[in-house]
Amino acid sequence: MPEPLIERGEVWLVGAGPGDPDLLTRKAEKLIAAASIIFYDALVGTTILDLADPGARLMPVGKRSGRHSRDQRTINELLVGAALTGGRVVRLKGGDPSIFGRSAEEIEALRARGIPVRICPGITAANAAAASAGISLTLRGQSRKLVLVTAHARAGEMLDLDWRALADPAATLAIYMGKAACRQVSDRLIAAGLPAATPAMVVENASLPDERIVRTTLALLDIAVASRITGGPALLLIGAAVNPVDLCLTDDNMRNSPMAMLSTIA
């Protein structure tokens, strides 16, 4: 008889990917089906949860900006409790668990109680956004590195980032949770020396049917978000590799006709 994919008392941190169930790894799909209890994030859709065993318990522990259903300490305690009572536990996280997923806190809490914990990687939002937009995140001779950054900050606080290091014309910036901070991101990067005409893109609901892609420039990032992006999670992509199609990126055009610099693909 084959060994179970998840042992009793074991926890798997599983990447649910960007939202499209077809972008789940085969292993993630098997782990979801094998779990007896699943703690899932707010961005994990019903089409993915439908893959769970009908008898599995589904526990929402999601966090959205300004709307936290559970704090991190409570989530840690729930995972520990489920494992100690013999559950086959999956902690289902949007994207990849190791990229801005607070996995370190959960791993530490579980290991401190002697609970085995393993990770199943997933496709992160930057990959999905670039694929949908038909671009590469790197560009030979121009964009030699990819930098993943979170722009999440507590209410009223300024982002504490190394803006000079981020304002690198040879890098592509993928900024997670950057919608609310897009004006600050734009202003700080320009002040640090990144040209105002640097190509930029906002991707909302990457990989989902209601996905929206807005191509713009660094200087107009806040206008793009305010005028074209609604309530979904959004990723910011900035750099030469994001080069907008059929846009003339000049400071004169940006000043004279800012709305003409926005191109939307819905």
Catalytic residue selected from 41, 93, 168, 179: 41
The closest of 38, 236, 11 to 125, measured between CA atoms, is: 236
**Strand arrangement of the beta sheet that strand 199-204 belongs to:** 145-150, 171-176, 234-238, 199-204, 212-217, 263-265
Active site residue 179: no
* Residue 19: both structure tokens together: 């939202």
Instruction: Phi first, then psi: give them for residue 15, nearest 5 degrees.
Output: -80, 120
- 122, 28 Cβ separation under 8 angstroms: yes
Please give the Cα distance from 63 to 45 (Å, whole number): 14
Catalytically annotated residue among 27, 63, 187, 222: 63
Contact call for residues 136 and 111 (beta carbons, < 8 A):
no
Q: Which two tokens stand for residue 63?
A: 């966090």
CA distance 124 to 149: 12
* Whether 63 is catalytic: yes
> Any idea what DSSP says for residue 77?
H
User: Cα(118)–Cα(116) distance, rounded to whole angstroms?
Assistant: 7
Query: Tokens representing 215?
Result: 């191509």
End-to-end CA distance of the chain: 49
DSSP string, 155-173: TTPPP---HHHH--TTEEE
Which residues are catalytic, by number?
Answer: 41, 63
